[in-house]
Amino acid sequence: MNWEELFCVEMAPMPAVVVIFGATGDLAQRKLFPALRNLHDRKLFNEQSTIIACGRREYSDESFRTLLGGDSDFLQHVHYCRGDNSEDDIYLKLAAMLKAAADKSTDYPCNTLFYLALSSPDMLIVCRKLAEHGLLQESVADPAWKHVIFEKPFGRDLATAAGLNDKLHELLKEEQIYRIDHYLGKETVQNILMLRFANMIFEPLWRAEYIEKVEITVAEELGVERRGNYYDHSGALRDMFQNHMLQLLALTAMEVPSSFDADAVRDEKTKLLRSIRPFDRRTLDQYWVRGQYADYCREPDVAPDSKTETYVAAKLFIDNWRWRDVPFFLRSGKRLGRKKSEIAITFKSIPHSIFPNIAAGDLPGNVLVLQIFPQEGMKLALQAKKPGAKLCIGTMQLEFDYSSLGKNPADDAYERLLLDALLGDPSLFIRSDFILESWKLLSPVLSTWESSDEKPILYAPGSNGPAAADKLTAPAAWRQLELD
């Protein structure tokens, strides 16, 4: 066995029962069942495992399998449990189905993974009911675990997030709670830690002495579409910054963990959030810009006088030895010129040029781009000799993308995260302290914007966002969305 195989932790899980609440909803039908099917097809779903789909609609096992369609081998694992989430009847049925499934697992303990593909109020109702019926209780005598996956949002602010955590901790241990952020399942996002901590070429340079700035972009072409009611009560800061953007920032800037253990990694991510320079309400405009695309207020289910932001840009500083005075620029928005997600690390220019007629400042710094969407991969801009007889210098790209590997195409993020959950590995799931620190960090921004009479700056759909965001990066400019 070579060294690459020693760290390859992808393996088939032990037998488990996967219980999906909200099984007829969009998330389950579009993401969860296809991901489970793919795991089954790749032999990463134990043949003694069972999937129980819970919903209110009238389905039998056979009619629900027909709804899913496709391969019958996978469908034989799927069973339907009908009922109202607020009534005891569905939990009595579920308890009987869980016992029957556990009895089928003769060689190993049968774990239980609950996936709550529901709104926040419904998640709490289901959790309480599961606890009342003893379906969340773990036993020292039984090595099987019981874990629950929760979808965002994890609160609306610090107070509601803390309250939600307290309510969950009355019913579950923190180790049983798996808060999911699908961004953490993407190949390039997972690769950040490998890139930083498995390559001596990068880690010694990953600091203020060598890095000029870091840009994190998550741009979307679409507007709010059919999510107007949800989005108008959330906005870009809650919808994107509090979770996806801060997770990307933490992975990019965190210190080296003591090991690859889940809690060691998550400890460092939370420490990083605590190191971000706090925001002063009096100078907030120097570090934050909020925008709203034109005609947002005409979208269905959006208030005609809405002050909800659809674009946010920020300039952050991390007050520790590694990142002293390095600006981190973050931006995310809807109805922008291109759907694109990336992390761009710009290194400082050389201190002295030996090349005739070229000053050190004329040579651009190297740029390492971790591409998340549309392609997943990375590229490194280097200054090198241009091909030809003349001695000319120019920028060249070293790059690769995961799709070019062919043999192991990049998995869907939910596929990766579901496999980790089935393996009982919480590394890519969010711990409660990170949630609270993220809300604590953003609270001054939220309260200032919500108490202000000013509306967000309008920007044209298909643009790069409001021009006012350019002042954050001045005298330099944001990376253009059109750049590959």
Catalytic residue positions, numbered: 244
CA distance 64 to 61: 5
242-272 burial string, b = 16+ CB within 10 Å, else e? bbbbbbbbbbbbbeebeeeebeebbbbbbbb
What are the C-alpha distances in Å from 300 to residues 93, 305, 418? Answer: 39, 13, 33
Handedness of CA 105, 108, 109, 115 (dihedral sign): negative
What are the C-alpha distances in Å from 301 to residues 246, 298, 321, 332? Answer: 28, 9, 47, 22
State the DSSP H helix or E strand holding residue 35, giving kind and residue range, or none if neither. helix 33-41
User: How far is Cα of residue 255 from the mean position of the Cα atoms in its chain?
Assistant: 19
User: What is 365-405 written as a DSSP string?
Assistant: PPEEEEEEESS-EEEEEEEEEPSSSS--EEEEEEEEEGGGG
Specify whether the backbone of 384 is left (phi greater than 0), alpha (psi in -120 to 50) or beta.
Answer: beta
Q: Whose CA is closest to 155, among 110, 188, 128, 124?
A: 124
Q: Whose CA is closest to 156, among 92, 84, 237?
A: 237
Whether 82 and 56 have beta carbons less than 8 Å apart is answered as yes
Handedness of CA 424, 177, 188, 202 (dihedral sign): negative
Q: Whose CA is closest to 123, among 167, 182, 64, 158?
A: 167
CA distance 218 to 330: 8
Q: Collapse the DSSP code of 321 into the 3-class scheme (helix H, G, I; strand E, B; otherwise coil) and give the result.
A: coil
Phi, psi of 382 (to 5 degrees): -125, 155
Tokens 């488990």 belong to: 16
Tokens 């043999």 belong to: 407
Whether 246 and 185 have beta carbons less than 8 Å apart is answered as no
CA distance 294 to 458: 6
Phi, psi of 197 (to 5 degrees): -105, 0
Q: Whose CA is closest to 127, among 181, 60, 178?
A: 178
